[in-house]
Structure 1
Amino acid sequence: MSTVTDTQNPIPGAPTSVALLGTGPMGAPIARNILAGGVPLKLWNRTAEKARAIEGGQVAATPAEAAAEVVLTVLPDLPQVAALLSGEHGLLSGWRAAGIEEPVLVVHGTVSPVAVAEFAEDCRRRHGVTVVDAPLSGGTIGAEEGRLSTMVGGPADVVKRLLPLFGLYSSTVVRFGETGAGSTVKACNQIVVSATVTALAEAMAVATASGLDPGKVQSILAGGLANSEVLRQKGQRWIDGDFEGGGSAKNQLKDLNFIAEIAKDRGLKLPLSASVRGAFELMIDAGDGELDHTGIYRTVLGRSE
């Protein structure tokens, strides 16, 4: 990993003033990839030790100190992003102090398309801040390997400036329209992810209940039409029965609730998504909400405690 000391940005076209707020399981590897690309990076995290653990970054004590021309947020939901703006130690204060007149705020978390579009309009009208929604797919492994899929919504000229930066941790970046469009595409992605996780959990439950070796069953699935990135990344969890860490069930349900919101707004009925949503509601009601979403396997088997 390279340590950035030169203020000259070696990535052609990439922003030279960048901050990342939220150095959790996804944010930390994204930050490392940005720094490895030679881009100077300010870092802030509510638990400062996590930010300090990232070699080469400039750790800020507050969001205000982290204020940069481009601020990437890797946080669970939009309320956590909005909470960073106001107050003496907020981003708005930091941008004013730094003389940054047209800051860009990137929302990498999975949020409501309706809410982020409203948030973006409010930020633009009241503060002159451009909000770009750019949710990610690929999980922590994709983040570590720099091959995330990034779904982007925002003004075309702003997004164009961000593409070299996004390319440091993404293998696929596509702009779909104005702010909110990226989150709509992420909802489409999460329909497939949540359904695939649940389908594989049911398949593993059938295999286990039938006395079959789940590893051998997975090898057959991986060799045919049932193969998927979910199986590649998550398959070992069902073999080991280890559902700690990873993408939590409560966040999966959050995404499914956004999908239900979109379906209602568009006048759609999504029977599969509704069924999967019900399964995750049961999982969380049983106290398994902090487990990886593959832990829906426990719900299928009736093993939740």
Structure 2
Amino acid sequence: MVSAPAVSLLGLGRMGEPIARRLLASLGELTVWNRSIGKADALVEAGALLAPTPAEAAATVTLTVLTDLDDVEQLLGGPDGLLAGWQAHGVEHPVLVVHGTVSPVGIAALGARLADHGVEVVDAPLSGGVAGAESGALSVMVGGAPDAVARAWPVLDAVGSTVIHLGALGTGETAKACNQVVVAATVTALSEALVLADASGIDRGALLRLFEGGLGSSEVLRQKKERWLSSDFAGGGSSSNQLKDLLFVTETARSHGLVLPVAVTLTDVFERAVRDGDGELDHSAIELSIARLAASGTGDEPTSPPALD
């Protein structure tokens, strides 16, 4: 019987590749898999082992860095899937760590199904973007059974600088949903402020410097400032992904009998941006959609002034 890798990572996209680099440097060994094999070339040169199939990447602790839960589920079944690999390797109680931002309801359902196969699932969505992945400064929001989290902890600790176990499976994704409300609200509020500043003849660079010196300062502003100054919105965290995250927010809220008014409004804002063709731009490009809406005069406004106390 071929022994299983200790740790593997599946998905070498914009986040997965730098995370794999840090894991390789920290752990000394790492098995990787990616649909496009060429993306693994640089990692293999650095010492990583390339698995030709997910089955051969089935490790004691297996990390997935994929956008959707459907992508994770597609790696599980069949003769080349993770389940077959764990069985062939004789791995007892493997841990599957899902780093993508996915539905809290969906990840809990996946965990229940995989428990029948002896697999323990840990949800560990990330915040900090590509820059955080490259520097190891990610926040990792962890949900899962204590024993599974404990076995994955040395790996999670190598992925991020702030790693917090929040509770049962799904709580990591719920925390990420909360995080994404803050991120979406901040990037939208800053964009709207810039649209108003432009219309008023205020230099946006000067305005952003003022924000940096007061309560308007934020990590969002620090990371997105140059995009707003240069109007370079290519790449980055897309508005499509921001919308996906906001839909998870409203889904999670409904599961608790809640309607979150700000999250609902933000969802509408990003749905419009995606509809207008800005979905693959960095989410700071929400400024473009807000500017178009503001100039059209079709945005909703209060029908009467607020009552004064």
> Normalised by the size of structure 1, how large is the TM-score?
0.91
Q: Does 1:108 align with 2:104?
A: no
CA distance in 1, matches of 2:186, 2:126: 17
Identity %: 54
1:72 aligned residue: 63
1:27 aligned residue: 16
2:299 aligned residue: none
Q: Does 1:52 align with 2:41?
A: yes
CA distance in 1, matches of 2:145, 2:256: 23
Q: CA deviation at 1:16?
A: 7.1
Partner of 1:87: helix, strand, or coil?
Answer: coil
Q: What is the aligned residue count? A: 288
Partner of 1:246: helix, strand, or coil?
Answer: coil
Q: CA deviation at 1:169?
A: 2.3
Q: Which blocks of at least 5 consecutive residues in structure 2 are unaligned?
A: 294-309
Q: CA deviation at 1:287?
A: 1.2
Moved over 4 A (4+): none
1:94 aligned residue: 85
1:8 aligned residue: none
1:7 aligned residue: none
The within-5 A match list for 1:246-261 is 246-261=236-251
Larger radius of gyration: 2
Counterpart contact for 1:73–1:106, Cα < 8 Å: yes
Which of 130, 133, 144 lines up with 1:140 in the alignment? 130
Partner of 2:215: helix, strand, or coil?
Answer: coil
Which residue identity does 2:115 align to in structure 1?
R
The within-5 A match list for 1:1-305 is 17-54=6-43, 55-125=46-116, 127-302=117-292
RMSD: 1.4
CA distance in 1, matches of 2:47, 2:185: 39
Q: CA deviation at 1:70?
A: 0.7
CA distance in 2, matches of 1:20, 1:214: 42
Which residue identity does 1:75 align to in structure 2?
L
* Greater CA drift, 159-168 or 196-205: 159-168
Superposed CA deviations along residues 125-145 of structure 1, whole A, max 9, x for unmatched, are 1x1111100111111111111
Partner of 2:27: helix, strand, or coil?
Answer: coil
Superposed CA deviations along residues 76-125 of structure 1, whole A, max 9, x for unmatched, are 01111011001121111111221112211100000111110011000011
> Normalised by the size of structure 2, how large is the TM-score?
0.90
Partner of 1:167: helix, strand, or coil?
Answer: helix
